[in-house]
Amino acid sequence: MALLEKLNEVLRTQALLGNTVEILTWDQEVCMPRAGVPHRAAIVGTIVGLLHKKLIEEVLPLLREAQESAELSEEQKHSVRILLEEAEPAEKVPPKLVQAFSEASSLAQAAWVEAREKSDFSVFAPHLEKLVQLGREKAAALTYAEEPYEALLRLYERSVTPAEVETLFAEVRPFLIETIRACEGSILEGLQGPALSLSAPQQRDLVETVLRQLGYDLRRGRIDISAHPFCSGFNPDDVRITIRIFEEDLTMALGSAMHEMGHALYEQGLAREPIGWPITMAASLSIHESQSRFWENHVGLSLPFWEYLYEQIFPKYNPSWLQAYSPLTLARRVNKIQPHLIRIQSDEVSYHLHILLRFELERALINGDLSISDLPAAWNEKVHTYLGLTVPNDAQGVLQDIHWSMGNFGYFPTYSLGSFYAAQLAAALTEQYPDWESNLRSGNAQIPLDWMRRHIHAHGKMYDSKTLCEKATGSSLSAKHFIQYIRQKVGLIYEGLSVPLPT
């Protein structure tokens, strides 16, 4: 068999087995009876083991051979380089370390659940200690230029260094703190009124109507309910999301739905073939997050979108809301800026201070500049400095997120990068199509969807996040678009309040 044919087959099998794991995971979260956990873990473990074996024994040698082969075009070789970059860490980290990491994080997750329930960091501390130590070993195995944390960050976002993330955050930090302070002193009017409460089936129905209207193709997708909303794209023709529903407040379901739909539109917009090649894959976690944040925030929190809901959607579900609110007062409710102890309940501005403090803390942990025993105090101090809040207990502080218990050091920054990319993409879109946002008033999101399809989705993983951003927007990543976006929104929602630009 010719090299290219062999490579196609091996990459295809690898991708399809990877999709299988995703389907098994979706089923586990949405359908599987709880008692099925051990058996499901055995299945997933078996397939993951197969994938790893095939990666080392079949994929990597073929990719290396392909790199040198005259049989491949330049573009194919470019793809091969991308795949190699992705695959090589699996080879660098010794199986024993992978095993140790997996066991430690299993135990750590159980301990984290208990620690959070009891709000007792000491239950989790020895496990985190172990994971940090293994994280450092992993970083050493992966190699790095400047600092251990760099190696882990690059697993989630290949195109940036910790120093670059630091620079981005340095640009936004004073602005974020300043904005929170300014909004605190400002009064939002028209927020009093009935809760946006709606039965679960009606919320489901409403969400489906809105998402379908915006462009989520439900012939190639579905919407389910789960405790933690997520999106699974097995293939552009089968992209599913889950949403969270609180009957007393529609905005929770709507927000999670818009966010997951952003992920889903991306997955539905990827190329179908050739299966297993970078063109069929999402560019990165950050770019994925840029899509979810664009739809959640730039679309879903915009005034025109709430005008659409007010005029076309809410009359069918609860006409009494129309008397109690105007589109503007509804938009104010969902855009209110008010720091919260919990990251996932935070507004768009405080959110990034949450990420910043996690980035600083995990970087210090991995680089050996902070001990586990000092972590809770360091957390609480940063929350106070950045958000002006006092942490009452570890459950609402250092124990609130699952990420570290899974050993995912370096993941948090991708959330903020996603928002910064989203704002930069939105700015470029607005420059080319100034009307796109006002079109949302009629529920028409064709322009932004087409634009994202063309500038982001169509390129798959052929460029790294940085390059993709440059190609799409004409300039390299900067936080200034995000700052601009927040300033504009604050001016609208807080009626003319002007937050100073950072110096």
Measured between alpha carbons, how far is 198 from 246 in angstroms, rounded to an integer?
A: 8
For a second copy, the closer CB: 232 or 297? 232
Measured between alpha carbons, how far is 395 from 119 in angstroms, rounded to an integer?
A: 5
User: Is 311 in the active site?
Assistant: no
23 lies in the binding site for a second copy (CB under 8 A): yes
| Binding range to a second copy, per CB under 8 A, among 13-21, 88-96, 406-414, 415-423 | 13-21
95 lies in the binding site for a second copy (CB under 8 A): no
Measured between alpha carbons, how far is 364 from 409 in angstroms, rounded to an integer?
A: 11
- Mapped onto helix, strand or coil, the DSSP state of residue 232 is strand
Locate tokens 């004073």: which residue? 174
CA nearest neighbour of 301 among 231, 348, 248, 247: 348
- Mapped onto helix, strand or coil, the DSSP state of residue 485 is helix
Q: Footprint of a second copy on residues 192-221 (CB under 8 A)? A: 218-221
Among 1, 2, 33, 145, binds a second copy (CB under 8 A): 33
| Distant-in-sequence, close-in-space partners of 397: CB < 8 Å, separation ≥ 6 | 341, 376, 379, 380, 383, 391
Cα torsion 102, 31, 225, 394 to 10°: value is -30
| Binding range to a second copy, per CB under 8 A, among 11-19, 247-255, 283-291, 435-443 | 11-19
163 lies in the binding site for a second copy (CB under 8 A): no
For a second copy, the closer CB: 78 or 222? 222
Candidates 260, 289, 296, 360; catalytic one: 260
| Binding range to a second copy, per CB under 8 A, among 26-34, 170-178, 277-285, 349-357 | 26-34
Measured between alpha carbons, how far is 403 from 106 in angstroms, rounded to an integer?
A: 12
For a second copy, the closer CB: 273 or 495? 273
Whole-number minimum distance, CB 199 to a second copy, in Å? 13
Among 1, 2, 38, 323, binds a second copy (CB under 8 A): 38
Measured between alpha carbons, how far is 359 from 166 in angstroms, rounded to an integer?
A: 9
Measured between alpha carbons, how far is 381 from 389 in angstroms, rounded to an integer?
A: 9
Whole-number minimum distance, CB 157 to a second copy, in Å? 28
Q: Footprint of a second copy on residues 239-278 (CB under 8 A)? A: 240, 272, 275
42 lies in the binding site for a second copy (CB under 8 A): yes
279 lies in the binding site for a second copy (CB under 8 A): no
| Binding range to a second copy, per CB under 8 A, among 138-146, 233-241, 252-260, 458-466 | 233-241
13 lies in the binding site for a second copy (CB under 8 A): yes
Measured between alpha carbons, how far is 452 from 449 in angstroms, rounded to an integer?
A: 5
For a second copy, the closer CB: 36 or 315? 36
Give the number of other CB atoms < 10 A from CB of residue 300. 24
- Mapped onto helix, strand or coil, the DSSP state of residue 402 is coil
For a second copy, the closer CB: 146 or 237? 237
For a second copy, the closer CB: 23 or 182? 23
For a second copy, the closer CB: 214 or 490? 214
CA distances from 375 to 153, 383, 401, 481 (A): 20, 12, 14, 33
Locate tokens 């190609």: which residue? 471
> Token digits for 167?
């620079």
Among 4, 25, 29, 32, binds a second copy (CB under 8 A): 32
402 lies in the binding site for a second copy (CB under 8 A): no
Burial class (CB in 10 A: 0-12, 13-18, 19+), 484: middle
Q: Could you tell me how many residues of this chain bind a second copy (CB under 8 A)?
A: 36
> Token digits for 249?
């407040």
Locate tokens 């552009």: which residue? 236
For a second copy, the closer CB: 181 or 272? 272
31 lies in the binding site for a second copy (CB under 8 A): yes
- Mapped onto helix, strand or coil, the DSSP state of residue 65 is helix
**Composition of the chain by helix, strand, coil, percent to 5:** 70, 5, 25
Residue 221: its H or E element? strand 221-225
Whole-number minimum distance, CB 408 to a second copy, in Å? 26
390 lies in the binding site for a second copy (CB under 8 A): no
> Token digits for 41?
């873990």
Fill in the per-residue mask, 43 to 82: x = in contact with a second copy (CB under 8 A), - = not in contact.
Answer: x--xx--x--------------------------------
Active site residue ranges: 260
- List residues binding a second copy (CB under 8 A): 12-13, 16-17, 19-20, 23-24, 27, 30-36, 38-40, 42-43, 46-47, 50, 218-222, 234-235, 237-238, 240, 272, 275
